Structure 1
Amino acid sequence: MAASGGVNILDFKEPSRGALAACDPSVWKSAVSEFVGEAPADRTVRLSAALGESETGPELSSHVPPEFSFAKVGPSGCSTAPKLTGLWESIRLPQPVELVPVAYADHIAAGAMSAEGVLNAVIETGRHRLLIDTFGKDGRTLTDHMTIDRLRSLLCVASEHSVWIALAGSLRLREMRSLGTAGVRPNCWGVRGDVCDQRDRTGQMDLRKVTAWRRAIGSPAN
């Protein structure tokens, strides 16, 4: 359904277990068959795997199929740059899967560094991608934790250093539009709950809502 709705990147996680909880690796293998091995030409999407947090990411990373494009790992418990970069270095992904570092807008709750600190570490280690998400899934959104000015500043720094940025965190369509109007335009929008029935992140996807996001962005949704 997401693919037919026009998404560019399809991310696999288990939302009932946390912000970036991994699904069973067997699901990743099934995804390769459906979206790579046997996918119709008009449904080509890049695949992404959530690896959970620092305690699960290193072990799971080697199980990500090489047909995936991305894998992301949460920074909880990594309160300093050495701890965070050590986590990234412990991830062993098959080529050519790329690690996407994550920063949490509510970083204090996660015992992690601020988004600015994570972005600096991304730049200093020569990485090229960053996802900014929320750790707590309590109904609050990215913009409840970070001001528009702060987000705009982060995106400006990222652009100066050619860092690709994705924004997520219980975002709704109206917030995406407001952010875009204010000049906050990331390379990628990450959405789950707002494209589900009754806006429940553990619910079923709604094709009409996926399509609404795609149209609002003005190009195939990321």
Structure 2
Amino acid sequence: MTRLLASVATLDELTLAARGGADILDLKDPKAGALGAWPLDGIARAVREARRWPVRPPLSATVGDLPMAPAAVTGRVAETWACGVDYVKIGLCPSGDPAACVAALEPEARRGARIVAMLFADLWTDANRLLPDLAQAGFVGAMLDTAGKGAGGLLRHKTNGELARFVEQARGLGLLTGLAGSLRREDVPALLPLAPDYLGFRTALCVGADRGGALDPTALAALRHAVPRRLASA
């Protein structure tokens, strides 16, 4: 069953997205880059707010657009996980030493941090080659996203066949799978048959399809309809 991930930029959007039926709430600052991070105190406040709800979706948080330097990556992941989110998302780029970053994060994963790797489809020619390393290091998931939000969405950079192979290989390694990257509502029918665990949205949720703008409840409702819920227990 594919679920709907909604990236939210403020506490008000957090509440709006939860009420609108998002299956996972992703804390991200779209004005600070592809994976712009909320400040740590803001993440902690969002966690406290969500814990007051009778029922809440899982919360994920990005750690920002970090250089592929193990010390910087491990420190920020540890700090973000300590805020109490359910998942920490780290972007992996081919520049620098992404393999060393993955290896350096293994102790954090073994201590319980639930880390999801974001692999940028417009930067990697073969992101799949990192998937075995992610599984070996104890990551819980891998998503394909895009780094350059003005250079077209995910389907401009990867074919359906490439996306299908990514999802299949990641799932075979026991990883949660997700697809994101300037996805539109019109992309959903092509992506649902691939059966990723999540489809992630920001731009398509916003007024005027401006990812830096405000979340639009009408757009969220349209995407909630396009990514239908099945059994609540699934």
1:104-123 aligned within 5 A: 104-108=120-124, 114-123=126-135
Amino acid at match of 1:51: V
User: 2:110 aligned with 1:100, yes or no?
Assistant: no
Residues of 2 paired with 1:62 and 1:193: CA distance? 28
Q: Percent identity among equivalent residues? A: 27
Residues of 1 paired with 2:87 and 2:229: CA distance? 21
Match of 2:209 in 1: 199
Residue deviations 1:146-184 (CA, integer Å, cap 9, x gap): 00011111112223222210111000011122222xx22
Of 190, 198, 206, which residue of structure 1 is paired with 2:200? Answer: 190
The question of whether the paired residues in 2 share the 8 Å contact of 1:132 and 1:168 is answered with yes
Residues of 1 paired with 2:212 and 2:60: CA distance? 18
User: 2:21 aligned with 1:9, yes or no?
Assistant: no
User: 2:84 aligned with 1:67, yes or no?
Assistant: yes
Residues of 2 paired with 1:93 and 1:85: CA distance? 10
Residues of 1 paired with 2:130 and 2:172: CA distance? 16
Residues of 1 paired with 2:111 and 2:137: CA distance? 19
- Local SS of the residue matching 1:137: coil
The question of whether the paired residues in 1 share the 8 Å contact of 2:23 and 2:57 is answered with yes
Residue deviations 1:82-132 (CA, integer Å, cap 9, x gap): 324235347x47965411112110125xxxx73212223223434331111
Residue deviations 1:28-53 (CA, integer Å, cap 9, x gap): 121022111x22x24x1211110122
Match of 2:61 in 1: 49
TM-score scaled by structure 2? Answer: 0.80
Runs of 4 or more above 4 Å deviation: 77-81, 92-96
Q: How many residues align?
A: 211
Match of 1:88 in 2: 105
Unaligned 5+ residue runs, structure 2? 1-15
The question of whether the paired residues in 1 share the 8 Å contact of 2:94 and 2:123 is answered with no
Residues of 1 paired with 2:166 and 2:153: CA distance? 17
Match of 2:44 in 1: 29
Shift of 1:10: 0.9
Of 117, 142, 147, which residue of structure 1 is paired with 2:154? Answer: 142
Aligned CA RMSD, in angstroms, stands at 2.5
Bigger mean CA offset, 152-161 vs 75-84 = 75-84
Of 220, 230, 233, which residue of structure 2 is paired with 1:210? Answer: 220
Amino acid at match of 2:17: A
Shift of 1:20: 0.9
Q: Which has the higher contact order (CA 8 A, sep 6+)?
A: 2
